[in-house]
Structure 1
Amino acid sequence: MEPILEVRNLSKEYKSKKIISDINMKVFKGDIYGFIGPNGAGKTTTIKTVLGLLKASKGEIYIEGKRILNDNNPPDIGAMIEYPSFYPYLSGYKNLLLYANVLDLGKKRVEEVLELVKLSNDKNKKVSEYSMGMKQRLAVARAFLNQPKIAVLDEPTNGLDPEGVRDMRDLIKYLAKEDGTTFIYCSHILNEVQNLCNRVAIINKGKILVEDSVNNLLGKNNHSSLEEYFMKKVGL
């Protein structure tokens, strides 16, 4: 099966220091692909390079077999990375409407994504009045404005209460199954990754250590949990 996203020999250097080195990844349509590693392992650099926010020193990126060349936010990818930032003096609705206008989308799509993340009742509140969890959900809504084929979510459950975590997990599963959305899911909560993702890649010191299905990683190595396998693999 042809991958929807393929990364080949991707490297990024900064002041002659390699931040990531020869990264190879294959993500297939409908995957919920866990991308995990210790702090400073190169996750964010890899993701930003795939998104065109950083220029690769070497390597190639393909979406549905088509090579993309340092596109800033490729149109088929939606992303929520690092701490979500918005205009605090505007409402959640107006923040999304600004982004929708840039993408030449209408108010209807803004309403749809707000409903998806259960923020319709709070859409007219200023973002400055939002909790951290509400800002996380608003950031996910922004990532889905253009109905992306691939969604990159970096720590999407930060600041969410247990009910919010469950809602986020259910939303990701629903979109993967019903809409065929492909997810790259970055999280430090390895139990959540194990329960949600079908495939994972582990990165450490700028290199991919392993890429496989969760079932294979645990079955072949006789580990009871992804956390146990991860700790052993990265030497923690």
Structure 2
Amino acid sequence: MTEWLPELLVSVLASVLAITLHEAAHGYAALALGDPTARLAGRLSLNPLRHVDPVGTVLLPGVLLLGQLLTLGRVEFMFGWAKPVPVNLLNLRNPRLGMVLVAAAGPAMNFALALLAGLLVHPVEAIGPSLPPEVMQIGFRFLGLSILANLVLGLFNLLPIPPLDGGRIVTGLLPRALALPYARLERFGILIVLFGVFLLPRIAEGYDPVGWALRHVVARAFDLVLLLSGNGPGA
């Protein structure tokens, strides 16, 4: 168990920061656009405990973490969600445009955090020789998992399925006659996602959307972050 501890700690920290700042970004964007609902509800906070969802923040990531540590000895994939920050669209100065901007703020925060983690590789490299090798290795592992967690969370949330951010962006961009019926999918959205991502692969042989996305979307985005942060692909 002790050899898992550093991997467990950096995985949890990277995931918690990605999820917390994603939700906080929604709240701050809504406040900037005229809606104080999140602030009045005490959700305009960087305290992770205020954003905890029992299933999405604790149970599912915990199962994924322990499963990978038990079978692989390391973490290669994380998935989860937080309790959504409350937003009252009627308070926004321009409700339709505001909904798009508030929804986009979460993934935008994740992409910015992924790039920041890539940039922080340079100072870690600079001070590395003065640190114990184990500490430097943990530092690099945390930055790598931060890039991964933020990319997975940001890209997953851009799927055009309500109540994911991508679904709300699409709802705000559609003509009103189409936006209303599309928004009604929100009550089934999480069920659609869970069925497509977790249940259908168990039923349909060869159907692996998570593996495909990690290999073809997240991996390329990871290389792009490394390239933009001056590390070079595959660093």
**Same fold, judged at TM 0.5 (above):** no
- Richer in strand (by share): 1
Which TM-score band (shorter chain)?
Answer: under 0.3
Tell which structure's C-alpha radius of gyration is larger.
2
Quick one: higher RCO (CA 8 Å, sep 6+), 1 or 2? 1
Query: Structure 2 length normalisation: TM-score?
Result: 0.25
- Richer in helix (by share): 2
Query: Structure 1 length normalisation: TM-score?
Result: 0.25
